[in-house]
Chain A
Amino acid sequence: MSDRLRVATERMEGGQVVVVGGEVDMESSPRLLLELQRCLAHGGRTVVDLAGVQYIDSAGIAVLVEALKVARRRGQEFALRAPSAQVTAVLALAQLQQFFRIEPAPDGPR
């Protein structure tokens, strides 16, 4: 069985990166929403690193959509980084990829 949700926030120049791992589902997604809301309240750019996400469902996608809407309302940059294969497949199923800015993984050690 894969891991439960892991969320860690790292500062970067001009904003923050929220590194997400494990499973984002109906049970765990409220915790991710709180963290994204906290980051967006700080202002600046928010990047959600999804490389370590093993499972996401519609509740997790709803959190990303909600965060995107908040960022747009505030004129803040919001991007997804290196979504895992499962996240990419679910975003495609939802036909939502085109609404998100999706970045590749950064080069070099993190």
Chain B
Amino acid sequence: MGVRVYQLQVPAVASCLRPVRAFLTAALEDVLAAATPAVVLALDEACANVVAHRARHLGRDDVELRIELWPDRVRFRLAAFCAAADLPAIRPRDLAEVRAGGLGTHFVGQLMDRVDYEPDPQCPGAMALLLEKRLPPEGRP
């Protein structure tokens, strides 16, 4: 079975997050079933991070997301997620504290099976975010 690929590119503004969630839900619910809301939340948090920090993204003002539907997993690549220099500062918050900073990063880490970064060749100095969610065995084709 082949890999199905979707590409999404929208302006990096908060008003685009809602249609992105709708697109992701429609694209994923057939394969992820009950896990869809959690994965949509993780992707929404990652996209919101791009929106919030787009000024540092070396001039890019868009959100570019690639979705690959593999037989056993769904893979996401969010282009120009952050500047390479900012990578050490991206960490989840201390859950012992009552505060919200870093919560989105915590959600992504908790909800996805793989969180990784790679240099983005299309945007020198930037890192792409790689996320994966494995499909439950009963949901695989």
Contact = CB atoms under 8 A, between A and B. Distances in A.
Interface of A: 1, 4, 23, 25-27, 55, 57-59, 61-62, 65-66, 68-69, 86, 89-90, 93-96, 99
A61 B103 contact: yes
Contacts of B44: 25, 57
Contacts of A69: 98
Contact of B15 (A27, A66, A89, A95): A27
B107 A58 contact: yes
Contact of A62 (B22, B103, B110, B111): B103
Nearest to A30: B14
Nearest to A72: B98
Interface of B: 14-15, 17-18, 21-22, 37, 41, 44-45, 48, 51-52, 95, 98-101, 103-104, 106-107, 110-111
B131 to A, nearest CB: 16
A57 B45 contact: yes
A55 B36 CA distance: 13
Query: Which DSSP category, helix, strand, loop or mixed, fits chain B's interface?
Result: helix
Given A4-B18, A58-B100, 5 more contacts: A66-B100, A90-B41, A93-B106, A93-B107, A94-B106
B48 A25 contact: yes
B104 A58 contact: yes
A9 B42 CA distance: 31
B103 A26 contact: no
Nearest to B13: A27
B98 A26 contact: no
B110 A55 contact: no
A99 B37 CA distance: 24
B41 A57 contact: yes
